[in-house]
Amino acid sequence: MAELKQIVVPDLGGQGEIPVVELLVAVGDAIQADQAVATLESDKATLEVPAPFAGIVRQVKVAPGERVSAGSLVALIEVAADAEMAAPTAMSAATPEPQAKSHGTKSAALTDAAIAAREATPIAHLDGSDAPAHASPAVRKLARELGVDLGQVVGTHRAGRISTEDVQRHIKSILSRFTGAETEGAPDHPASAPPPGRTIDFTRFGEVEIKPLSRIRRLSGAHLTHSWSSIPHVTQHESADITELEKLRVMLNGEQKSSGIKVTMLAFLLKASAAALKAFPQFNASLAGAGGDLVLKKYFHIGFATDTDEGLLVPVIRDVERKGVLDLAREIADLAAKARSGKLSLAQMSGASFSISSLGGIGGTGFTPLVNPPEVAILGVSKARLSPVWCGNKFEPRLMLPLSLSYDHRVIDGALAARFATFLADVLADLRRLLL
């Protein structure tokens, strides 16, 4: 049998009358035991009135702005008799606490659940509806002042309600992404890890396996995070006609069969990049003096990203401008083999002034490589494809190589990047330009 029961304002710890600032339920709502039904706000704290039992809200007896004190009737709830027995929470156990106090173990568990739910549906509200985020007017005011979208904040209080601390945690998490600063409560967090407090129990969603990241992945993760968060990246896309170059490559490989040297596109890309770096010194540079100086390098050492089982490594070929394509091909093969067998020395991975990341052997039409600091630019290469190209009076099948040049916008302007990429494409289209 259903029964109407009262929800009253519990003991306010000696505070007299305080105003209701928000009603959190409406007539007809089904509520859970312990769910907040109203928010009261004094000068000192924001307090929530929890329902001591689950049921259906049948009447609401207060309105926002009304002043209430301990014992004031807030709402009438229809409680199923068996539900009442299942949740015999006494009124005294429902004493509201100031928000600052309500971050005990219970709310820690709620944090996890709330965050897990947000992970599954990043923008949606916790109940999957389009309802506005639950927060008191004071928290809304704070969010407005700080320009925080409450829809993006994970509420750690009952029923996903957002507190002042939730807003502060949200801001900290955003700031730490931009500054790389460690956030309170997670001093040992590697830069590549998710923000603190976001340890999610994925077993809620299904079976999982935990595999530690390799040392290389951990190190490169921190480096990549630093690159991503500290460099204003822009990527310039270009397409090079390598029809003639490919003919030369095939011819060279035919000639070199007995020597065992295999010439891939990467050797030509190194050579063309060195020429472009010479023509555009700003790309062969590093920021120094707290970002106030540019160090222009007179050497042309180029790193190339190598995919290994343990993660990404970037061996460096020194003085590329002085070497021939066959020497470069030999060196690429040697360094890539060393990288894959874990035999690269530190010296062989240091000192690059520019990098190339070639995914052309795998596929893809373009990507946005991350600059490898302290360098200021990187060339991404995707898979060459035969494409119809308009040659004045008809389409011709040409082998086109997609290039993606990412650069540090603090050092390089978009126009310069477009010129660099065009230069590179012109050299690859006609290697005779290297003689100019």
Instruction: By CB under 6 A, name the binding residues for ligand CAO.
Output: 264-266, 304-307, 312, 332, 336, 357-361, 369, 381, 383-384, 401
Nearer to ligand CAO, 95 or 225 (CB): 225
Residue 409 is among the residues annotated as catalytic for this protein = yes
Q: Where are the alpha helices (DSSP H) in 343-433?
A: 414-429
Q: How many helices (H) and strands (E) does the chain have?
A: 9, 19
Nearer to ligand CAO, 20 or 276 (CB): 276
Nearer to ligand CAO, 114 or 332 (CB): 332
Catalytic site residue from 125, 223, 237, 409: 409
Between strands 30-31 and 73-80, the pairing is unpaired
Instruction: State in angstroms the smallest separation of the CB of 266 from ligand CAO.
Output: 4
Instruction: State in angstroms the smallest separation of the CB of 42 from ligand CAO.
Output: 55
Identity of the residue numbered 75: A
Cα distances (angstroms) measured from residue 40 to each of 31, 32, 46, 217, 410 = 19, 19, 6, 50, 50
Instruction: State in angstroms the smallest separation of the CB of 337 from ligand CAO.
Output: 9
Q: Point out the residue whose Cβ comes nearest to ligand CAO.
A: 360
Identity of the residue numbered 318: R
Query: How many CB atoms neighbour CB 419 within 10 A?
Result: 15
Nearer to ligand CAO, 151 or 361 (CB): 361
**Long-range CB contacts (within 8 A, 24+) of 326-334:** 326/252, 326/256, 326/261, 326/263, 326/267, 328/267, 328/270, 328/271, 329/261, 329/262, 329/263, 329/264, 329/267, 330/261, 332/264, 332/266, 332/267, 332/270, 332/304, 333/261, 333/262
Nearer to ligand CAO, 156 or 227 (CB): 227
- Residues 314, 346: contact at Cβ < 8 Å? no
- What's phi and psi for 159, nearest 5 deg? 55, 30
DSSP, res 323: S
> Using CA atoms, how far apart are residues 431 and 243, in angstroms rounded to an integer?
12
Instruction: State in angstroms the smallest separation of the CB of 350 from ligand CAO.
Output: 18
Nearer to ligand CAO, 3 or 255 (CB): 255
Instruction: State in angstroms the smallest separation of the CB of 219 from ligand CAO.
Output: 14
- Residues 280, 300: contact at Cβ < 8 Å? no
Quote the longest CA-to-CA distance of the chain. Answer: 96
Instruction: State in angstroms the smallest separation of the CB of 413 from ligand CAO.
Output: 25
Residues marked active site are found at 409
